């Protein structure tokens, strides 16, 4: 009986995603995030759905499970979204 040498190759690919959000004619939306314990930029749920390309039901599920942070009644913490989706977000004001 012959022994077959098996060779295993592992390839690791790291990606980095950067989302730049341009805000025209105004300031970024800031509010205190209880979970982050700091002032944070926030999105409305409609904006978050568009920016992160997810459906509203999935976003609601993430909010209910505390995977992402709610800020007030109708806002989502941008930092928690970026962390969940492993993206860097930069805001640019015009």
Residue 2 maps to a domain: no
The whole-number pLDDT of residue 2 equals 61
Residue 8 maps to a domain: no
Chunk the chain into consecutive blocks of 10 residues (it has 94) and report each block's average pLDDT, rounded to whole numbers: 78 82 77 92 92 94 95 92 89 80
The whole-number pLDDT of residue 3 equals 66
For residues 59 and 67, the answer to whether their CB atoms sit within 8 Å is no
For residues 28 and 91, the answer to whether their CB atoms sit within 8 Å is yes
Residue 43 maps to a domain: yes
SS (H, E, C) 15-27: CCEEEEEEECCCC
Burial 33-68 (b: 16+ CB within 10 A, else e): beeeeeebbbbeeebbbebbebeeeebeebbeeeeb
Write out the residue range of the structural domain in which residue 89 sits.
17-93
Residue 4 maps to a domain: no
């Amino acid at each position: 009986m012959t022994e077959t040498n098996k060779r295993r190759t592992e390839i690791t690919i790291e990606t980095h995603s950067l989302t730049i959000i341009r805000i025209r004619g105004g300031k970024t939306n800031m509010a205190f995030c209880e979970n982050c314990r700091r002032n944070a930029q926030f999105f409305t749920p409609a904006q978050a759905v568009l920016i992160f390309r997810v459906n509203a039901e999935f976003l609601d599920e993430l909010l209910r499970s505390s995977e992402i942070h709610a800020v007030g009644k109708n806002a989502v913490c941008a930092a928690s979204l970026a962390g969940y989706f492993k993206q860097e977000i930069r805001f640019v004001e015009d």
